[in-house]
Amino acid sequence: MILTRRYRFSASHRLYNPALSEGENREIYGRCAKPYGHGHNYILEVSVAGRADAVSGRMVASKDLDSLIEDEVLRVYRGRNMNLDIDTFVDGRVPTTENVARDIRERLERRWPAPGTPFGHTARMPSLSGVRLFETPKNIFDI
């Protein structure tokens, strides 16, 4: 069984690689390379896979999953300029949505309890199945 929870956050970024010239950045990233950046209202979906607990009938307690996502992702990204405020990107790594989705997945994996172990109000923690990040209605990234 797979459960998917949806979250929202707003953040800004500039797509710009400091190893490239201004012209090369404009060629690759277009208007997204403008000096002051731009923002998005992202939609994040986190999916977990496992079996429903025999006692509760639930795979995971929503409040426990929500708390983990809040601590590891939303608190980090919400209202931030990714280029300036998020450790993954301050060294010049380009905060493309592909890289943001990867960073979110890695942040969750570092804190994710081992599948099958007790977690909060959850009898057995399900495994992290996937992360889906919507940048725009046309740009959606799965990892």
Q: What percent of the chain lies above the pLDDT cut of 90?
A: 80
Task: Render pLDDT for 89-104 as a digit per residue (tens, 0 to 9).
Answer: 999 899 999 999 999 9
CB 49, CB 2: distance < 8 Å = yes
Question: What per-residue confidence (pLDDT) applies to 53?
Answer: 84
Nearest CA to 134 among 69, 44, 72?
44
Residue-number span of the structural domain to which 25 is assigned: 2-142
Query: What pTM did the predictor assign?
Result: 0.93
Question: What per-residue confidence (pLDDT) applies to 40?
Answer: 97
Q: Is 81 exposed, middle or buried (0-12, 13-18, 19+ CB in 10 A)?
A: middle
Show the tokens assigned to 65.
């999953």
What is the rounded distance in angstroms from the CA atom of residue 142 to the CA atom of residue 127? 16
Task: Render pLDDT for 59-74 as a digit per residue (tens, 0 to 9).
Answer: 898 999 999 999 999 9
Number of structural domains, the chain? 1
What is the rounded distance in angstroms from the CA atom of residue 23 to the CA atom of residue 127? 44
- Give the CATH number for residue 96: 3.30.479.10
Question: What per-residue confidence (pLDDT) applies to 15?
Answer: 98
Question: What per-residue confidence (pLDDT) applies to 113?
Answer: 85
Residue 1 has pLDDT above 80, yes or no: yes
Show the tokens assigned to 141.
């990234």
Task: Render pLDDT for 81-90 as a digit per residue (tens, 0 to 9).
Answer: 999 999 999 9
